[in-house]
Chain A
Amino acid sequence: MAEKQYVKIFARFERFWHWTQALLVIVLLVTGARLHGLIGGFDWKAAFGVHLVAAGLIVLLWIFAIFWHFTTGEWVQYVPTFRNLVAVIRYYAYGIFLGEKHPAKPTVRRKHNPLQRLSYLFLKLIINPAIWITGILYLTIGSNGLPLDWVAWAHLVAAYAMAVFVVIHVYMATTGETVLSYLKAMITGYEWVVVEPEKKPGKR
């Protein structure tokens, strides 16, 4: 087995994408809650304006990210696998308490464990599209002829899914070797990972 090395696993764009997205999602959730009437505290019209600008930016960001994933081939990071999945689930449900080692060792070609792959894929293929498709339908409600309450409801459900994802994602980010190690990696881009030999890409 190759030695662990402190190498860059998150490219500059990836980190920019992640943190901008994080900020925009928070802004969208807060302004969305205001628009929906769950919270008060600031002007509805201002909330609408900010929500709209943030939504526009995040859609733009997603378009860039999709482009980036295809051009760099990094999309393969999200191909689902069931290998080791049970072990990972068992780890989070039990092993983590005993101080066991994480069953999935991150490598440069395999940055995410099987559970991450599945949840991120769900985010990218289900939650994100649902939220922006329903959002665009909501914005264009005057011309698409759909019933307002249906579209509003669908957008709300997608928003709750996003909110739940954010909460769990933030907590999971504290489950590294130390509480802050994943966070540090997402900021600096560097992490201690196994670097596979160049010539044996197939052997995992």
Chain B
Amino acid sequence: MRFRWLKTVGIGGRTLPCILAAFVVIGGAAVHAQEKSPPTADHTKFESLKGPFTSGPEVTRACLACHTEAAKQVMSSIHWKWDYTHPVTGETLGKRNVINAFCGNVASNEPRCTSCHAGYGWEDESFDFSDETRVDCLVCHDTTGDYVKFDVKAGHPLYEPLTRKGGHVYPDSLKQKSGGMTTYLPPDLAKVSQAVGEPGRANCGACHFYGGGGDGVKHGDLDSSLVSPPVEVDVHMSPDGADLTCTDCHTAHGHQWPGSRYLGTVRDDNRGKPGFRRRDVASCQSCHTSTPHSTASIEGLKLNDHTDRVACQTCHIPEFARGGVATKTWWDWSTAGKLKDGKPYAEEDEHGHHSYLSKKGHFVWEENVVPDYAFWNGVVDYSLLGEKIDPSGVVPVNKIYGSAEDPGSRIYPFKRMRGKQAYDRDNNNLVLTNVFGPETDTAFWTNFDWDKSISAAMAKTDVPYSGNYDFVETEMWWPTTHMVAPAKSALSCGDCHARDGRLSGLSGFYLPGRDLFKTTDRIGLSILVLSLVGILGHSSVRIVMSRRRKRT
């Protein structure tokens, strides 16, 4: 009994929750997520889940025997398809198609990248996207924490023990270390399948916290600190705060989730039915409305005046990567491939993060990062494979649309990922690279040969590769929306209403405290100065003349 010491002073049982609840209500500080309704099925009682299971698809088959439509729903979602047609730009996006500023591309690197596919066995382009048994139910619905899609197995967990040098993300309870080697034990699939439930933060986080190849690498506002964050890091997800799970905001509807980074909901003035929670959108306003600050004070009213042009995130996420996990902000592939004594090597920065890896080049890692700010209307435009780039400047891997003149745009915080990536010098387009593949002779991480790596990856596409590659500086914009800080830690007026404040780089609008009216100020100050000069002259003459009069 966790509160045994309270029993000794006569408090406990039902009293304790009541007292705690009273504190929550009286304190008013914490609004806890509604307790989930108890399930109507106890999965430990199902014969079909007794196992033993030898593979993930076997478990899926058992799930689908009852949940007949689940796989169809998952298969129509972006978690499965990794394919998305942008309704505004018409571009074909999704992980299968885009180039990013991290490991670059999925094609030719499948077994590594697809360890985060919501399925089993996407080894290469021959993967059967219509096979329902290949849907991975457990990665989202495991509640034991033992189920891990091993990071180089194309979405499969381990089915047999595997001994490696280490470095894989894996639960400690299933790891055995001896003699510098680590043995990774397979999860007990029957036990996992009997304990399925609604996804928690750790489920979504298993992939979304580790994007880009490691904890916190990609997003900056999503990392393992959010599994159980302090209130200061995230008021919504903290067990001491609202204790929300991802799906409390990204409300599922038939295994589809709102909250796209390709088409963001930047401005959400829609109102749902009174008393009903909207389930079609993952916006702050869907809970907090467009006038979230108290209208009983002028401060609240003035803050509410901002919400038409300033996204909630801009003030309420003062910095990202605040949970003690650094994020990558610079990745220079151009220096990759250097060897010492014929062997790849690593360098570390003062915080113990890799600053150089022969496999990947140079990195900069940062914590508590002040975002970049820009007007955004939700639309993101990618530099897709084959699109011409201008290598004389910084190449945008993606561009965000929006401006001060566009009423649908709001000022939004971003992580601006920068680095250097390979491109085709003759054809002027970014190229794909084959980096992963321990057994191939083309993978860069095995052979350290860019030409082979690019040729092999480009061969998977119908875009030609000239054989003449170089590296170009790139940038990529990542919207920042998680790690909402407590209100007391939000930005203050002067952070933006200042000559060189956070919004000094934005143009097209008047910002009090940042912008002078140059001509008017010049005229006004001139008149003031002239008045003072006139006063100085007038008073001087008065003094001189009165002295002269006194003398005579």
What residues of chain A have their CB less than 8 Å away from a CB belonging to chain B?
Answer: 35-38, 43-45, 48, 52, 96-99, 139, 141-142, 148-149, 152-153, 156-157, 160, 163-164, 167-168, 171, 174-175
Contact = CB atoms under 8 A, between A and B. Distances in A.
29 contacts: A36-B512, A37-B498, A37-B512, A37-B515, A43-B494, A44-B492, A44-B494, A44-B513, A45-B493, A52-B298, A97-B545, A99-B545, A99-B546, A99-B549, A139-B302, A148-B510, A153-B517, A156-B520, A156-B521, A160-B525, A160-B528, A163-B528, A164-B527, A168-B531, A168-B535, A171-B535, A171-B538, A174-B539, A175-B542
B516 interface: yes
B546 A167 contact: no
Contacts of A36: 512-513, 516
A138 to B, nearest CB: 9
Query: 10 closest pairs, A vs B, by CB?
Result: A142-B305, A44-B494, A160-B524, A149-B510, A45-B493, A97-B545, A171-B535, A37-B513, A44-B493, A167-B531
Interface in B151-186: none
B301 A142 contact: yes
Given A141-B305, A168-B535, 13 more contacts: A36-B512, A37-B512, A38-B521, A45-B494, A52-B298, A99-B546, A99-B549, A142-B305, A148-B509, A149-B509, A160-B525, A164-B531, A171-B535
Given A36-B513, A164-B528, A153 B520 contact: yes
Given A37-B498, A45-B492, A168-B535, A160 B527 contact: yes
Nearest to B304: A142
B541 A97 contact: yes
- Please classify the interface of chain B as helix (H, G, I), strand (E, B), loop, or mixed, using the class held by over half of its residues: helix
B99 to A, nearest CB: 40
Contacts of A99: 545-546, 549
Contacts of A167: 528, 531-532, 535
A65 to B, nearest CB: 24
B548 to A, nearest CB: 10
B492 A96 contact: no
A87 B221 CA distance: 74
A111 B170 CA distance: 89
B517 A97 contact: no
Nearest to A43: B494
Interface of B: 298, 301-302, 304-305, 308, 492-494, 497-499, 509-510, 512-517, 520-521, 523-525, 527-528, 531-532, 535, 538-539, 541-542, 545-546, 549
Contacts of A152: 510, 512, 517
- Please classify the interface of chain A as helix (H, G, I), strand (E, B), loop, or mixed, using the class held by over half of its residues: helix
A57 to B, nearest CB: 14
Given A45-B494, A96-B542, A148-B510, A37 B528 contact: no
A38 B524 CA distance: 12
Contacts of A142: 301-302, 304-305, 308
Contacts, number: 85
Contacts of B516: 36-38
B200 to A, nearest CB: 39
Contacts of A139: 298, 302
A37 B512 CA distance: 8
B278 to A, nearest CB: 24
A97 B542 contact: yes
Contact of B524 (A45, A157, A174): A157
B386 to A, nearest CB: 43
Nearest to A45: B493
B542 A37 contact: no
Nearest to A168: B531
A149 B517 CA distance: 9
Nearest to A141: B305
B492 to A, nearest CB: 5
Nearest to A147: B510
Nearest to A142: B305
A148 B508 CA distance: 12
Contacts of B535: 167-168, 171
A100 B512 CA distance: 49
A49 to B, nearest CB: 8
B305 A157 contact: no
Name the residue among A45, A142, A163 with the largest chain B CB count within 10 angstroms: A142
A45 B538 CA distance: 40
Contacts of B541: 97
A45 B541 CA distance: 44
Contacts of B515: 37
A139 B299 CA distance: 11
A96 B543 CA distance: 11
B121 to A, nearest CB: 55
Contacts of A164: 527-528, 531
A122 B126 CA distance: 84
A31 to B, nearest CB: 12
B497 A44 contact: yes
A98 B538 CA distance: 13
A48 B305 CA distance: 15
A22 to B, nearest CB: 17
Nearest to B510: A149
Contact of B497 (A35, A38, A96, A175): A35
A35 B545 contact: no
Nearest to A93: B538
A35 B531 contact: no
B545 A98 contact: yes
Contacts of B492: 43-45
Nearest to B550: A99
A190 B492 CA distance: 49
Contacts of B525: 160
Contacts of B497: 35, 37, 44
A152 B56 CA distance: 64
Contact of A37 (B499, B509, B531, B539): B499
